[in-house]
Amino acid sequence: MHNNNNEQSLTRIETFGVEQIPDHERNARPVDLFRMIFGGANTFATAVLGSFPVLFGLSFEAGVWAILLGVVVGSLILAPMGLFGPINGTNNAVSSGAHFGVHGRIVGSFLSLLTAIAFFSLSVWSSGDALVGGAKRLMGLPETDLTLGLAYGLFAVLVLTVCIYGFRFLLWVNKVAVWSASLLFLLGIFAFAGPFDASYAGSVQVGSEGFWAAFIGAALLAMSNPVSFGAFLGDWARYIPREASKGRIMAAVIGAQLATLIPFFFGLVTATIVAVQAPDYIAQNNYVGGLLAVSPTWFFLPVCLIAVIGGMSTGTTSLYGTGLDMSSVFPRLLNRVQATVMIGLMSIAFIFIGRFAFNLVQSVSTFAVLIITCTSPWMVIMILGLVIRRGFYCPDDLQVFTRGETGGRYWFHNGWNWRGMGAWIPSALVGLCFVNLPGQFVGPLGELAGGIDVSLPVTLGMAALLYLALLNLFPEAAEVYGPKGPRWVRVKRAGAAGLVDASAA
């Protein structure tokens, strides 16, 4: 059978939706997953996250440790999410039906939709601003609403075109982005080595009031970058053969996130220079403007190239998964291409209205953090479910909703599994209550930890405890666990035996 997804079919429009990818079509490798993840994060948007320790007043050294802590912890949480695609041959939202029910899986679909629109918008805004700002310094191009609008429109249309063509075109774009953007970021060593001072002290030192709030806040923002990929890994990993090494898949995920330290540290280093040479930009939280102000003239062209390449890679990885998800939520109304076009047009409208009518850039940054707070407990439940079920899934039963059918081992209560839902809903709500983003959003419990944002640790821990408790209080049927049975939880078996304790299995 002809392989519609081989390297020779780069410009052939992908026809697969969220149905299980046939085994003979799965010819991607873990290294391809690495490229997709790293390419999608190797952008100005990540560099902006790297500037936050300086915006919070931390020293360069404290900023390095905050970023390392956030990226390492986030990548370890994220890594198992890369296993669902190869196991089930579909995206993570559909796979979540095994733990939330085939109807409850729409939670993952809408979380990925909101996350994608937010990060797509942030990527287009930051890349467009950098491109126009660099062109202004390089060629005298005026920075007006018209030039900004043209830059935003260029990115949006290019991204939408790539997403319509599908996975292979997307993979090619990210292959280019991994190497080219990395080299351009590393070129910044020569641009900023002179004025950089590793002893930059910041305004908040260890032992002073507010240090730990700033440090943990910076670490959590860095952690939000890998966590934001949780809903999307299956979009790309579904093309990896099911027999591929699980260790190599998780290593690819962790390696890709560790590689993002390149743009993270680029943002941190250049932010310290901006803080010394152009402090007004730091006071206005305008890192991109400050970067352009302190950059040598010869580095403006690399800035523009990073903006174009980064905007393409981040935008495509976000929008592709969203179109795929929406086609699965409305399978009888939309195929993948139609859903991608619809979501793409909605996102483009959101970008222009938000940027020029309501100036929602900062609000969307806040919105992205809040969405991640809701996505984190969803990920915890998925990962715990994977471990408890020993990796056993029935991919065909996961497609019941997509086919418009009922029944199957993941039908639970009319398509909803209230164990997963019952753990996710309160965990997400409590996590939102603990969010503390000064000047943007502070939840009703946000000040309980002395101004420190503990929303992610709270929501992650609560989701784990609730899910395990609900699985033991209301055991699931034995059929969802496969022949080996579950780990740690009780199982409900039919017949006179009733409930059998399988915690030692």
| Residue 447 located in a structural domain | no
| Residue 436 located in a structural domain | no
Total domain count, the chain: 1
Closest CA to 84 of 385, 336, 327: 385
Domain that holds residue 276: 23-359
Phi, psi of 311 (to 5 degrees): -60, -40
| Residue 434 located in a structural domain | no
CATH of the domain at 165: 1.10.4160.10
Quickly tell me which residue has 């950089």 as its tokens: 196
| Six token digits for residue 242 | 């099911």
Q: How far is Cα 142 from Cα 148, in angstroms, rounded to an integer?
A: 9
Instruction: Tell me the pLDDT tens digit for each residue of 419-467.
Output: 999 999 999 999 999 988 776 788 999 888 777 888 888 999 999 999 9
| Residue 502 located in a structural domain | no
| Six token digits for residue 209 | 């009031």
Confidence of residue 256 (pLDDT cuts 50, 70, 90): very high
Phi, psi of 453 (to 5 degrees): -80, 105
Share of the chain above pLDDT 90, in %: 35
| Residue 416 located in a structural domain | no
Instruction: Tell me the pLDDT tens digit for each residue of 116-129.
Output: 777 777 777 777 77
| Residue 53 located in a structural domain | yes
| Residue 150 located in a structural domain | yes
Whether residue 46 contacts residue 263, with contact meaning beta carbons closer than 8 Å, is answered with: yes
| Residue 489 located in a structural domain | no
Instruction: Tell me the pLDDT tens digit for each residue of 285-294.
Output: 778 778 888 8
pLDDT at 4 > cutoff 50? no
